[in-house]
Structure 1
Amino acid sequence: MAQLTSPHALYISEILFTISYYLEDDRKTLARLARCCHAFSEPALSVLWSSVRSFSPFIPLLPPTVKFLWDHGRFDEATLVEFQCPPEEEWSVFDSYARRVRRLYSGSHCHQIVARIRSKTTLFPLLRSLTVQLIEPIDIQGRLFSDSLRSLKISGPAYVHCKDDRVQMAIARLARDAPLVEYLHIEDYTYSVVQSSLPPLHFAHLRAVEISAFFDYTLLQSLCHILSQAPVTQLKLELPSLPNKEWNISSPVFPALRSLRICGNPASAEQFVFHLASESLQELSIYHTRGPASAADYRHLLSHVADKYGNTLQQLSLTLSQSPSPNYPYDLSQSVLDAFYALAPRFNRLETLHLSLPHNRYVHLAPELTFESPTWPSLKLLDFQAT
């Protein structure tokens, strides 16, 4: 009987990788492929481990002495100070899987501790995207971030008063260890946080930043300072619901900014726009869906935007829910529209205008706010939504 031979296609690695990537969402099938034959093993394992949703799968792969500490809850400071990192050969199994990871979602205390134990080596050398919650302050000597990293989403402890500057220090380590990072998203769920004395950091490739400050302005203020000189062109801010006109940024920030989206109240938004160093903002979006506001707040914000960016702004979007002024939401809507009408001639390059406002029959979209209006010579798209 003739011996069966494998099809020639199975000797072409590109085809095997294509098949494996096609099954990226079917992890059970990928696991079976990795076990079925030697040819499929490498492609299937590479795809299977390319995106990992927690650090937990790596715990069984740790060197025996490190896993012993984890299993017995011995990751305390006194033990770690005396603990010696196992030799490199004991990390071989861990490394064989870690080098395949491109995206990692890690909220594990263990991840930070292992990075500290193995401080001279990057745990995931080819990582491109990392989501991490800092359960404890970052270790100065550890290398939590790979130099291949392009995207980072990071948060500190949630719903507590944080007594250290762990998030700011992590951003400093990011600047040191991941010089090619392009996207940064910082979420802050703390009620208060310690200010940092860090100077502005150098990020040569950072282009897009999101900062979500849900309760307190302190971390936001600190982050604006340390990221102030980064070449960020796209910025999204989520501000606390209550305005704070006292929050202060010590120097102009984000000189390269082209697109800004602020989710928050108009008074705080005006404070931020005032400190922008950019001279050519092209897109501005304001989403105000919670917290108080007044007609005067909107008039001041719009007037300041017109003064500073009337000659550069090409797209303007304003979304206002009924919550900021629950007793008189329609009066506030009409005041916002009136402010736009008065400022229209000063936005001489505006091409797109989106308005989403609480609306009833007493709120009027003036007839002069149209494409044909001589006061809006560049307007190409007008989108008005009544909510």
Structure 2
Amino acid sequence: MVVQAQPSPHALYISEISLAISYQLEDDRKALARFARCCRASLGPALDVLWSRVPSFSPFIPLLPLSVKSLWDHCQLDEVTLVEFQCPPEEEWRIFDSYARRVRKLYSGSHLHQIVARIRSKTTLFPLLRSLSLQLLEPLDMQGHLFSDSLRSLKISGPAYVHCKDARVQIAIAHIARDAPLLESLHVEDFAYSVAQSSLPPLHFAHLRAVEISAFFDHSLLQSLCRILSQAPVTQLKLELPALPDKDWSISFPVFPALRSLRICGNPASAEHFIFHLASKGIHELSIYHTRGPASAADCRRLLSLVAEKYGNTLQTLSLALSRSPTPNYPYDLSQAVLDALRTLVPTLNQLETLHLLLPHNRYVHLQESELTFEPLTWPSLKNLDVQAT
């Protein structure tokens, strides 16, 4: 009788094996925690994976020095107390640091996170952090280091107030420019209907390539963000545009010179106004989704004419989706205007390869792909055509 030898536990002492097992258990946190307690060899790799993604700042509260935790427990986070509070010595942060240095991705909506960063202003709390999602419950203190220099991706959620009297979103971006020079992706999400103006100049972001601005904000915040990011080498931009007010808003300077891909949610008039101020000479991909606000046939004609004028020689993909609107004579005037404008602009859009259209359907306009099928000699570059009616 042959008895098979059992696998030796010494295999776990090979860090690559323990780490591979830990990643296999990544989605089962209870099993991963049990594996961490299995033996000393598996402890480090398992904890690295277990703490690599943290859904909130809450797990770090018990790890804080007792004097800092006491502030939280007794709700003593007022300005007077914080000004007089002395940061505990480094040895009291040893346990906190042993876990914080494992974190690569953090979702934080805790005011305490910002308070701790202020208290420990000379040290970055999460030194190896790569991705951070942060809700700005309070304005940031410029003396703190909330953002690690290892940060690559950041999502900022502004205050969930109807009105916000400070420029906390803009100030946070100034923090980022100072402390996270390698940032590659920025997502700004704000829920304040009106915010304070900011006089911050264009900030230096040498590696910022992707920006998303999805918010319910007024025009002052959009203009501030455009000014702050105007010289960043952004190649991909997604944004939600507020409707144009009665008194026209103005971005009086060229923005985003390196842009290649643009996705806009907003009405055609707002989209036209924004595209007019783009400094980029070579948009390759453009998507415009009409989400709210009125739209007219004239707005669509002006938008398409501007796109053809600026990017007819570079645009390869165009997507245009128009929703139903309270505009008079809508939707048949609008749908027909888009089709007529595209027929006129065929010679100008000479690099276009893919065209997606989502237009309102009604009994006056029958949207068929055949309506936009042109002879190869008139539109030789077009390869993909998708026309749908809502």
Q: TM-score, normalised by structure 1?
A: 0.95
The one-letter amino acid of 2:126's match is: F
Count of residue pairs brought into register by the alignment: 384
SS of corresponding position for 1:36: coil
Q: How many Å apart are 1:370 and its aligned residue? A: 2.0
Q: How many Å apart are 1:7 and its aligned residue? A: 2.9
The one-letter amino acid of 1:141's match is: Q
Q: In the alignment, which of 226, 229, 237 is matched to residue 228 of structure 2?
A: 226
Which residue does 1:187 correspond to in 2?
Answer: 189
**Percent identity among equivalent residues?**
79
Q: 1:294, 1:41 → 2: CA distance?
A: 63
Q: How many Å apart are 1:371 and its aligned residue? A: 6.0
Q: Is the 8 A contact 2:13 2:42 kept in 1?
A: no
The one-letter amino acid of 2:340's match is: D
Q: 1:255, 1:376 → 2: CA distance?
A: 28
Q: In the alignment, which of 267, 270, 273 is matched to residue 269 of structure 2?
A: 267
Which residue does 2:345 correspond to in 1?
Answer: 343
Equivalent positions of 1:142-161 (< 5 A) are 142-161=144-163
Q: 2:111, 2:48 → 1: CA distance?
A: 25
With 246-255 and 49-58 compared, the bigger mean Cα shift is at 246-255
1:383 aligns with 2:386: yes
With 281-290 and 317-326 compared, the bigger mean Cα shift is at 317-326
1:213 aligns with 2:226: no
SS of corresponding position for 2:355: strand
Equivalent positions of 1:356-371 (< 5 A) are 356-364=358-366, 365=368, 367=370, 369-370=372-373
Q: How many Å apart are 1:384 and its aligned residue? A: 1.0
The one-letter amino acid of 1:95's match is: D
Q: TM-score, normalised by structure 2?
A: 0.95
Q: Is the 8 A contact 2:296 2:330 kept in 1?
A: no
Q: 1:297, 1:245 → 2: CA distance?
A: 17
Q: How many Å apart are 1:300 and its aligned residue? A: 0.8
Q: Is the 8 A contact 2:339 2:372 kept in 1?
A: no
SS of corresponding position for 1:382: strand
Which residue does 1:77 correspond to in 2?
Answer: 79
Q: How many Å apart are 1:257 and its aligned residue? A: 0.4
The one-letter amino acid of 1:120's match is: K
Which residue does 2:3 correspond to in 1?
Answer: none
Q: How many Å apart are 1:10 and its aligned residue? A: 1.3
Q: 2:100, 2:252 → 1: CA distance?
A: 42
Structure 1: segments with no counterpart, 5+ residues: none
Which residue does 1:252 correspond to in 2?
Answer: 254
SS of corresponding position for 1:346: coil
- Relative to 1, partners in 2 of residues 1:313 and 1:243: Cα closer, same or farther, differing over 3 Å? farther
SS of corresponding position for 1:262: strand
- Relative to 1, partners in 2 of residues 1:371 and 1:11: Cα closer, same or farther, differing over 3 Å? farther
Q: Is the 8 A contact 2:208 2:232 kept in 1?
A: yes
Q: In the alignment, which of 108, 111, 117 is matched to residue 109 of structure 1?
A: 111
Structure 2: segments with no counterpart, 5+ residues: 1-5
Q: Deviations over 1:31-77 (max 9, x none)?
A: 11111211111111111110001101101100000000000000100
Q: 2:349, 2:53 → 1: CA distance?
A: 46
What's the C-alpha RMSD, in Å, of the aligned pairs? 1.7
Q: In the alignment, which of 89, 97, 100 is matched to residue 91 of structure 2?
A: 89
Which residue does 1:129 correspond to in 2?
Answer: 131
Q: How many Å apart are 1:327 and its aligned residue? A: 6.5
